[in-house]
Amino acid sequence: MTATATRPILSTRPRARSPLAFVLWLAAYATFVILPLPLGLINLDPGRGFWTNLSVALGFVGLSMFGLQFLMAARSSVVSHPIGMDIVLRFHRQMAYLATVLVFAHPIILFLLDPRYLDLLGIFTAPLRAKFAVTACVALLLVIGLSVFRQRLRMRYNTWQLTHAVLALVVVITALVHVVLVGYYVREAWEQALWIALSAAFIALGVWVRIVKPLLRRHRRWTVESVVAEAGGATTIRLHLENPGAYGRRGFRFQAGQFAWIQARRSPFALTYHPFSFSSSAEHPDRVTFTIKQYAGFTRSIVDVQPGETVYIDGPFGAFVLPNGKPLVLVGAGVGVTPLLSMLETLADQGCTLPMTLWLGNKDQASITCGEQIASLQARMDLDVVHVLSHPRAGWNGVTGHIDESFVRDRMAESLSGDPARSLGERDYLICGPASMMDAVERALAATGVHPSQIRSERFEMV
Amino acid sequence: MRIEKAVVWASFAVAVVVIGACISWALLVQVMVTPACDMMNPPANAGYLDCQPSG
């Protein structure tokens, strides 16, 4: 089986999202939302009539949805990877409206069913369980109101985010206390414990990712040292850590090939971080570079940063890393070369003497991103570079075409007739680029007898 | 635009599934055990009961 790093790397090209992944993700979400209902059927209390039951069910699933809101806002790659962070955040917003409708339907149905329930709104006379329910509803109205009217109220984004998180916390905790105090359909101690444990887990995750980590990040500022335009419409941004001691005794570390979430020109508490691969050596983690191709949106805004500006980094993440002490063939196309550059820079800094090969696909001579860096790497290590250009300009004597199955087959056959020490068959393969190229290379390597365990790849997709 | 449409459809689908599950649950609860309305002494925390007159 191919060892594939499943985390996405560079947020550049529009992603070919899988509808099946989206459907499965939605199915998992819906299952978690309605989970309290089948659990509530265990040791069931006597039914209280259809409408009362329905009202309770809507309250249960509404609360369950609010718990999951924390999970969706946590920017966890486990949650967001299958469908993309942008969809998750949009869905988060839509589900907030739906959950609000369901939660408010709970008391409204009861009020319509029996006006005596209106007595529970009495602030001084109502039982404690009702006071918690009213508090949850008021906090929920504030959450929605501030989200919808934030700009009209001229509320600062950071202030809104903090208010949003605190009010959301109040909603879930007070609603949970209401459920436990009422205790109907949640009579058993294990049922109550499960509700509390799940809510606590979601809240803890939200607090960790949205409050604790950004607070730590405030002291881990990276400063833009230089911004260099590269060939192929890419830009290399070099950053240095303002305070190398900010990451503790071990300092900041990453492995060549990994990526980090980056935020520029906004607070460390902002939601919109974006993932980019490191393109610099892991041997110098206090000074890192990211080579970013400009397309639209965030990639366009980040390449506009100026030296001296502050950038926040969340990471490193990713499993697309160097294998230990083996000759390698690195295969990339376009800006997919960035994690491979990080790997080669790291190996060069480590004084690696093993033979390395880089197959790099581009459109023409002018679109070879970081061409000079690649040339300088050749002087520092035993690196054989094969540029493959699909539309070369006049004067090109190298390989023309694409990195496809026939290219790989030809290279493998060529290596068999040459120096056995430089044979490609026993090497490990690290592939990063567009899906079509990666599929072709993986197919060709398998056909030429390369064992799947020798292949590592990372899909060049947008989060 | 395509993403926004997909999210709207997804939200609609989730709403249908969730509300459908709630309605099914409300019906199921009435038939799985003896309803509180049919009990001589309903549980104290059952609240105001929604008992339909039976034929």
Report the pLDDT value the prediction gives residue A342, as an integer from 0 to 100: 95
Non-local (6+) Cβ contacts of A184 within 8 A are A45, A48, A56, B43, B45, B46, B47
Task: Tell me how far the alpha carbon of residue A164 is from its chain's centroid.
Answer: 22
Across the interface, whether the CB atoms of A57 and B17 are under 8 A apart is answered no
- What burial letters (b/e) apply to A420-453, b meaning 16+ CB within 10 Å? eeeebeebbbbbbbbeebbebbbebbeebebeee
Confidence (pLDDT) at A170 = 92
Comparing CB atoms, the residue among B15, B33, B34 nearest residue A98 is B15
Tokens 């309803």 -> residue: B35
For strand A274-277 and strand A259-264, is the pairing parallel, antiparallel, or unpaired? antiparallel
- Rounded to 10°, the helix A157-182/A50-72 angle is 140
Under an 8 A CB cutoff, do A49 and B15 touch? no
The neighbour count for residue A192, using CB atoms within 10 Å, is: 16
Q: At what angle do helices A19-34 and A50-72 cross, to 10 degrees?
A: 130
Write out chain A residues lying below 8 Å of B30, CB-based. 47, 49-50, 53
Q: Which helix (H) or strand (E) holds A299?
A: helix A298-302
Closest in A34, A46, A184 to B18, CB measured: A34
Q: Say if residue A115 is preceded by a cis peptide, omega within 30 of 0.
A: no
B55–chain A nearest CA distance, Å: 16
One-letter amino acid at A143 equals V
Residues of chain A with confidence (pLDDT) below 50: 1-17, 461-463
Residue from A351, A192, A346, A167 nearest A257 by CA: A346
Q: Give me the pLDDT at residue A272, please.
A: 62
The confidence score (pLDDT) of residue A8 equals 37
Contacts of residue A94 in chain B, CB cutoff 8 Å? Answer: 7-8, 10-11
DSSP A5-74: E-S-----SPP---HHHHHHHHHHHHHHHHTHHHHHTTTPPPP--HHHHHHHHHHHHHHHHHHHHHHHTT
Q: Are A269 and A216 in contact (CB under 8 A)?
A: no
> Cβ of B16 under 8 Å from any chain A Cβ?
no
Nearest residue, CB atoms, B23 vs list A22, A54, A113: A54
Do the strands A383-389 and A356-362 form a parallel or antiparallel pair, or are they unpaired?
parallel
Q: Is A24 on the interface with B (CB under 8 A)?
A: no
What pLDDT, on the 0 to 100 scale, is given for residue A118? 92
Q: What is the pTM of this model?
A: 0.62
pLDDT at A317: 73
Q: How many beta-carbon pairs below 8 A join chains A and B?
A: 126
What is the C-alpha to C-alpha distance for residues A462 and A435, in angstroms, rounded to an integer?
12
Distances from the Cα of A148 to the Cαs of A2, A201, A324, A361, in angstroms?
A: 46, 27, 52, 47
- Chain A CB within 8 Å of residue B1 CB: no
The pLDDT assigned to A459 comes to 60
Contact A49 B49 (CB under 8 A): yes
Q: Taking the mean position of all CA atoms in its chain, how far away is CA A174?
A: 31
* Among A residues 186-225, those touching chain B with beta carbons less than 8 Å apart: none
Q: Are strands A310-317 and A428-433 parallel, antiparallel or unpaired?
A: unpaired
Q: Which residues of B touch A45 (CB under 8 A)?
A: 33, 36, 43, 46
Q: Do B18 and A33 touch (CB under 8 A)?
A: yes
| Closest of A204, A214, A208 to residue A158, by C-alpha | A214
pLDDT at A9: 37
* Helix boundaries (H) for A381-447: 405-416, 435-447
Which residues are within 8 A (CB) of A389 and not within 5 positions of it... i.e. 6 or more apart? A361, A362, A363, A364, A365, A396, A398, A399, A400
Alpha-carbon gap: A19 to the closest alpha carbon of chain B (Å): 10
Distance CA A61, CA B29 (A): 16
* A87 contacts on B by Cβ (under 8 Å): 3, 6-7
CA distance A381 to chain B (A): 45
Distance from A37 to chain B by nearest Cα, in Å? 7
In B, minimum Cα distance to A37 occurs at B25
- Virtual torsion, Cα A136, A138, A141, A147, nearest 10 deg: -80
User: Could you please report the per-residue DSSP string of A439-456?
Assistant: HHHHHHHHHTT--GGGEE
Neighbours of A78 (CB within 10 A): 10
Q: What single letter denotes the amino acid at residue A110?
A: L
Residue of B nearest to A96 (CA): B11
Write down the pLDDT at residue B52: 63
Residue B45 near chain A (CB below 8 Å)? yes
- pLDDT attached to residue A304: 76
DSSP designation for A390: S
Instruction: Give all strands (DSSP E) within A304-410, no chain letters.
Output: 310-317, 328-333, 356-362, 383-389, 399-400
Residue A461 is predicted with a pLDDT of 47
What are A306's two structure tokens? 């100026």
DSSP helix, strand, coil percent of chain B (3-state; round to 5): 65, 0, 35
* ipTM for the whole complex: 0.90
